């Protein structure tokens, strides 16, 4: 096994035992990038020289007995909406900032404090406003989309071109590409991680989270992000105030146990919304995974999803005007620099009446209250992350067996939006493959600040199913 094939936990254990050095690991991952990047397009900016310097520094610190923890010496990718000092934040757009930021974002500073090695910035759908990431190809099938908007981060992790990566999630932008590329993606509770130094798409829906190869790896990254102190002024955005029971705030004790025993845990299975207009192969894979959770001892309970018919309208009613407000000045001064798909959405946002935006805010408040009642019945909710596997590049719509024609972007956001609207933590982990041989995603959700439960359930599934693997083969 080559070092780039190791999971984060495996690499960290090898480094701590003196069996692998950060320099060896970083060189192996950089070599992997050189071998696959021209076919995948995961990175917009590669910082190989500074990565080598950081890896050497980590190696010397560890040799001197100053080991900072499991992320020390681990190479990672950073979505190009997240500032890193000295590297331009382009947002994969011609409108992107021309000058590199002088300081790290809060999350980049926390990873640096943990000793992680930044490889470079990964591609995003322009300004995070889309679910395909057109510059990047799917790690498993280059003719298909990577998913978005954190497509570069997901593909880099899936292909072994990063040991882990950070992404952002406004309407599924971590979970969608995680599901389509067969990796783990975690959207933590809204407000649990600071957005200081992150280019915003929709301030009230934006989240930051890790993409990894295993649930254990996601827990290790989240522990480092939450357990460290950010720079002054890097406070988190306001978190939801509606909770069901005392929150289990994420922290240093996050890594779930090795045991796959879920006895006593109640998992809700939605009766509506999540299994409507879902590809049969994806549904079969997800339901098989849910059966595995039941075999681990979890009690399965059918639940109703509150206000389901209003979910997409609320998501778009919040996101579209907020995104337009964020881009108001540049949309007026340099509209021609935006890609057509993003420009059209931004222009549409200017036409949303204030009353509609306020109604969407009211709808969100009602949904948060209603989901509180759901989590009084169950400890977690299990459902598909996406309704279908990765579509072919350029495909604009999908026709369902009932005759409904749905835009690809609407289909992918549909099952992820509830966790953004309510702010609850959501984890996507790979299941399948579906009938075409492509991965699908199992989505696990829990009450606010109860990341520990989604990680526990996800880890139990990995342990019981033996589904943890290395990077996917990259075709020529």
Catalytic residues: 79, 149, 173
Alpha helices in 20-143 (DSSP H): 22-40, 48-63, 106-113
Q: Which residues contact 457 (CB under 8 A, 6 or more apart)?
A: 262, 265, 267, 293, 298, 380, 382, 427, 444
- Alpha carbon distance 211, 227 (integer Å): 18
Nearest to 289 by CA among 300, 279, 278: 300
Alpha helices in 378-450 (DSSP H): 408-414, 417-422
80: exposed, middle or buried (C-beta count within 10 Å: 0-12, 13-18, 19+)? Answer: buried
SS3 of 336, please? helix
SS3 of 27, please? helix
Query: Tokens 């909406």 appear where?
Result: 81
Residue 151's Cα: distance from chain center in Å?
9
Question: Where on the phi/psi map is residue 165: left (φ > 0), alpha (ψ -120 to 50), or beta?
Answer: beta
Query: Tokens 């994969």 appear where?
Result: 92
The half-sphere exposure of 450 on its side-chain side, counting CA atoms within 13 A, is 22
Assigned token pair, 26: 């970083």
Nearest to 110 by CA among 222, 239, 26: 222
74: exposed, middle or buried (C-beta count within 10 Å: 0-12, 13-18, 19+)? Answer: buried
Query: Tokens 């001892």 appear where?
Result: 297
Q: What is the DSSP letter of 5?
A: G
| Backbone angles phi and psi of 262, in degrees to 5 | -115, 20
Q: How many CB atoms lie within 10 A of CB 355?
A: 8
Assigned token pair, 253: 């004790």
Report the Cα–Cα distance between both ends of the chain, in Å, rounded. 20
- Alpha carbon distance 350, 321 (integer Å): 7
Assigned token pair, 200: 């915003």
Is 390 in contact with 144 (CB distance < 8 Å)? yes
């Amino acid at each position: 096994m080559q070092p780039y094939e190791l999971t984060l936990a495996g690499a960290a254990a090898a480094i701590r035992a003196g069996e692998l050095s950060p320099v060896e690991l970083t060189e192996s991952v950089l070599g992997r990038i050189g071998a696959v990047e021209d076919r995948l397009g995961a990175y917009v900016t590669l910082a190989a020289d500074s990565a080598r310097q950081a890896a050497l520094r980590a190696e010397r610190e560890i040799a001197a007995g100053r080991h900072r923890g499991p992320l020390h010496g681990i190479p990672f990718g950073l979505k190009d909406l997240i500032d890193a000092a000295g590297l331009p934040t382009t947002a994969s757009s011609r409108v992107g900032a021309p000058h590199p930021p002088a300081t790290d974002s809060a999350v980049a500073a926390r990873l640096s404090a943990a000793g992680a090695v930044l490889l470079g910035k990964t591609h995003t759908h322009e300004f995070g406003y889309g679910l395909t990431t057109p510059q990047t190809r799917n790690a498993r099938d280059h003719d298909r989309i990577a998913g978005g908007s954190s497509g570069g981060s997901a593909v880099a992790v899936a292909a072994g071109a990063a040991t882990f990566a950070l992404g952002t999630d406004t309407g599924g932008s971590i979970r969608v590409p995680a599901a389509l590329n067969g990796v783990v993606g975690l959207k933590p509770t809204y407000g649990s991680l600071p957005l200081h130094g992150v280019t915003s798409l929709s301030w009230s829906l934006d989240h930051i989270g890790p993409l990894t190869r295993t649930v254990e790896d996601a827990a290790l990254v989240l522990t480092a992000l939450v357990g460290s102190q950010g720079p002054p002024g890097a406070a988190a955005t306001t978190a939801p105030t509606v909770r069901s029971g005392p929150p289990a705030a994420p922290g240093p004790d996050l890594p779930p146990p090795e045991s796959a025993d879920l006895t006593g845990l109640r998992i809700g299975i939605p009766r509506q919304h999540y299994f409507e207009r879902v590809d049969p192969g994806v549904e079969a894979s997800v339901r098989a995974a849910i059966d595995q959770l039941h075999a681990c001892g979890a009690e399965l309970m059918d639940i109703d999803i509150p206000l389901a018919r209003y979910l997409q309208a609320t998501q778009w009613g919040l996101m579209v005007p907020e995104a337009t407000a964020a881009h108001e000045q540049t949309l007026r001064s340099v509209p021609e620099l935006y890609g057509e798909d993003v420009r059209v959405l931004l222009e549409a946002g200017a036409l949303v009446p204030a009353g509609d935006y306020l109604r969407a805010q009211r709808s969100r408040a009602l949904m948060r209250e209603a989901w509180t009642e759901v989590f009084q019945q169950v400890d977690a909710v299990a459902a598909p992350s996406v309704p279908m596997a990765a579509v072919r590049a350029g495909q604009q719509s999908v026709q369902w067996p009932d005759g409904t024609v749905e835009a690809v972007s609407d289909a992918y956001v549909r099952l992820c939006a509830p966790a953004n609207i309510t702010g609850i933590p959501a984890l996507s982990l790979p299941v399948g493959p579906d009938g075409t041989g492509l991965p699908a995603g199992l989505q696990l959700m829990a009450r606010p600040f109860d990341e520990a439960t989604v990680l526990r359930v996800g880890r139990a599934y990995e342990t019981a199913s033996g589904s943890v693997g290395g990077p996917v083969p990259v075709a020529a």
